Structure 1
Amino acid sequence: MTKLFLSLHVLAVVLAIGPVTVAASMFPRTLRTAHDGPGDGEALTTLRMLHRICRVYGVIGIAVPLFGLATASSLGVLGSPWLITSMLLTAAAAGLLVLRILPAQGAALAAVQGPGPGAEARNPARLAMATGVFNLLWATVTVLMIVRPGSTTGA
């Protein structure tokens, strides 16, 4: 059963978290393009698609910690410091996505579509920074999952 849970966990990461990190990273650049060419329908369509990818795949990403917990439980490593750290970083990444990135994308999208939020929503640099931190958190979790410092399960 451990191999099944681990396989599902890794597939969920690749299929859910991968698209979110890529789409979130592309959003600020596309936002700059939309600001540089007001009325650019292609940039607006791309922004809408990237925001939708982040929202939908972010929800699907809930499967990652669920399968991860099932895997950890079957391995008997739920109390391991590297796993607890990974869970905290995963929660931080999820919180950043839900509380900062998605609302900022929505506000930026609304600002590009017409009059709306002020200059904050039009600043792609802040969104790019939040996205960079989000991606760094996931990269750290990935390293912890591979290296597992202090793990008794090998590495």
Structure 2
Amino acid sequence: MTKFLLVLHVLVAIVAVGPVTVAASMFPPSARRALAGPDDPRATETVRLLHRICRVYAGLGIAVPVLGMATALSMGVLYDTWLIVSMVLTGIAAAVLLALVLPRQEEIIEAVEAGTATTSVEVAVNPRVTVRLAMFTGIFNLLWATVTILMIVRPGSTTGA
């Protein structure tokens, strides 16, 4: 059962988290193009699609920590330090995505759909909103990379790594 849970955990992590990290990373440059050329329907559709990918796969990503906890419980490592650190980092990554990345993506989409960057107060006041979004996305991606490394290296593991 442990191997089955581990396989599910890894597959769901790849399928759910991978698209979010890629789509979120692609969003800021696509948003800059869409804000620069508000008459380009393709640019607008691109930012909408990337945001939808982020939203949908973030929802699916909830299964990753659930399956991870079940796997850890079956392996008897639920209270190991490396796993607790991984869970905390996963929570922080989720908070960054939900509180900093997705809302800013929505603001930018509203500005793009309105046809001008001046329709959104934050975008009008601070044209670097896409730069800030890229920074938050980078933090989100670094958190997931760190969790992935902890899952592979696992301090004290019996794999000899």
Report the TM-score range of the alignment, normalised by the length of the smaller protein: over 0.9
Structure 2 CA distance for aligned equivalents of residues 16 and 92 of structure 1: 17
Question: How many residues align structurally?
Answer: 155
Confirm whether residue 133 of structure 1 aligns to residue 139 of structure 2. yes
* 1:37 Cα offset (Å): 1.4
Runs of 4+ in 1 over 3 A off after TM superposition: 151-155
Structure 2 portions without partners, runs of 5+: none
In terms of mean alpha carbon deviation, does 144-153 or 113-122 score higher? Answer: 113-122
* 1:117 Cα offset (Å): 3.5
* 1:23 Cα offset (Å): 0.3
Deviations 1:30-50 (A, max 9, x none): 011112212111010000000
Contact 1:20 1:58 (C-alpha < 8 Å) held by counterparts: yes
Correspondent of 1:118 among 118, 122, 141: 122
Equivalent residue for 1:93?
93
Aligned partner letter, 1:45? E
Q: CA RMSD in A?
A: 1.4
Equivalent residue for 1:84?
84
Equivalent residue for 1:49?
49
Confirm whether residue 69 of structure 1 aligns to residue 72 of structure 2. no
* 1:118 Cα offset (Å): 2.8
In terms of mean alpha carbon deviation, does 119-128 or 89-98 score higher? Answer: 119-128
Contact 2:35 2:111 (C-alpha < 8 Å) held by counterparts: no
Structure 1 portions without partners, runs of 5+: none
Aligned partner letter, 1:117? V
Deviations 1:117-139 (A, max 9, x none): 33247621000000000000000
Deviations 1:5-55 (A, max 9, x none): 001000111100000000000000101111221211101000000000000
- Structure 1 length normalisation: TM-score? 0.95
